[in-house]
Amino acid sequence: MNRKAVITGASGGIGQSIARHLAAAGVSVLLHANTRRSAAERLAAEIADNGGSADVVTADLGNIHERDAFVDLCWERCNGIDIWINNAGADVLTGTAAKLSFAEKLETLWRVDVQSTIFLSRAIGERMRTHGGVILNVGWDQAETGMAGDSGEMFAVCKGAIMAFSKSLAKSLAPEVRVNCVAPGWIRTEWGQQSASDYWNERAVREALRGRWGTVEDVARLAVFLVSKEADFITGQIVAVNGGLAGYDQWCPQNSAASDEAT
C-alpha cells in the first residue's frame, strides 16, 4: 500500500527537497505552504510530471485556530497519514523580518517553529496510534553546543525546545508511533545562497569536518531514511546532519560580534 506523507514548509529549501525525495521513493505527498502556495503548486506539478502523487494545502501554522483545522484537513485529504514531517519555520534572517527586534523574532519563531511542531505532533500522533506512523521534526545541531550572538541564542531556545520535545513525544507515543528529529548544521538554504557574508561562508566550511556547506539534499536523504521502514528500530533520536561539527569558536573566539550580522 502506498504510504502518505505531509510535509510542512514544503514550498522551498529543505522541505521541498524532502518532498521530492519522498515522492521519488513512491510516497504520496501533501505539501504545506503558507504565503508561497504558487511555489508548492509548481513542485506538485513537477512531482506529477515525474510520475508521483502530490497535492497542496495552505495554512498559517502560527495561528492556533488554523493548526487544528489543518490537521483535520490533511487527515481527510489523505484518508489517513503514515508520515508527518514538521519542517515549517519562520524566516527571520532575510527580507523584512530581518529588521525586526530580537523580541519580535523570538516570538515569531516560538509560534511558528515551536508551538506548531508541538501541537501538530500531538494531534497527528494520537490519530496515528490506530495504525502506526512516523513523525519527524527539525532541530539544529548547535542548539546543544551553543552559538554566540542574537541568532544563536534565539535558535538555540527554539530548536532546543523542539529537540527535547521530540524525545518526550517518542516515549508518549511508543510503541505505535516513531518520533525522531533531524538536526541540520550549516545548510545552504536561501539565506546561505543570497545573504551570507564572507564571514559566514568561511565559517560554514571550516566548521564542518567535511569542509563544505551542507545541501538540502543531504538533509532530505537522511529524512527519507528515518521515516522509512528500514529505520523501524530508530525512535526518540536526534540525528545531526552537519558534516561533523568541528567547532569554529575554538579558532575564532572573537566571533560574537560578527555572528550578530545575521540578526
Strand partners, 184: 241
- Helix, strand and coil content of the chain, in percent to the nearest 5, comes to 50, 15, 35
| Model confidence pLDDT, tens digit, residues 101-151 | 999 999 999 999 999 999 999 999 999 999 999 999 999 999 988 889 999
Write down the pLDDT at residue 221: 98
pLDDT of residue 113: 96
What domains appear along the chain, each with residue ranges and CATH number?
4-262 (3.40.50.720)
Longest dimension (CA), the chain: 55
Residue 234: all three cell numbers together: 530508530
The whole model's pTM is what? 0.90
Query: Rounded to the nearest 5 degrees, what angle is found at the Cα of 159, between the Cα atoms of 116 and 4?
Result: 50
Q: Using CA atoms, how far apart are residues 9 and 4, in angstroms rounded to an integer?
A: 16
